[in-house]
Amino acid sequence: MNLKQSLITGLLCFGITAGASATSLVATTDALVGAVASTTEAVSDISSSLRDSKVVRAARDDAASFVASNGVIRGARLETALIHIRQQAPELAKTEDMQLAQAILSR
């Protein structure tokens, strides 16, 4: 095999590898986007059904502080609302506190 053939073979192998990596990246991205969309939809549905909850309404200021501080400030009303939401909707038990706080604010 001469240098030209070796170079062409190497480039072809690189192209196949790059294509496989790109396909893997697309599949991973699609899976992550799908999971986030499902969680966001579930949180949105729950926040709509809980919008009249006094506990959730009372946590609005605490939720705003929590989101604005990137999770550093955690008020008692927010903690109570998070527990309440998770009791009312067990499917959200593993949902991040930040997502729930944002859902409280989006109502």
For residue 65, what pLDDT is reported? 97
**Stated pTM of the model:** 0.57
Q: Tell me the C-alpha distance between 49 and 19, whole Å.
A: 45
* pLDDT: which is higher, 19 or 99: 99
User: What are the residue ranges spanned by the domains of the chain?
Assistant: 3-106
- The band of 19, judged by pLDDT with boundaries at 50, 70 and 90, is low
Under a CB-based contact definition with an 8 Å cutoff, are residues 102 and 92 in contact?
no
Contact 86, 79 (CB under 8 A): no
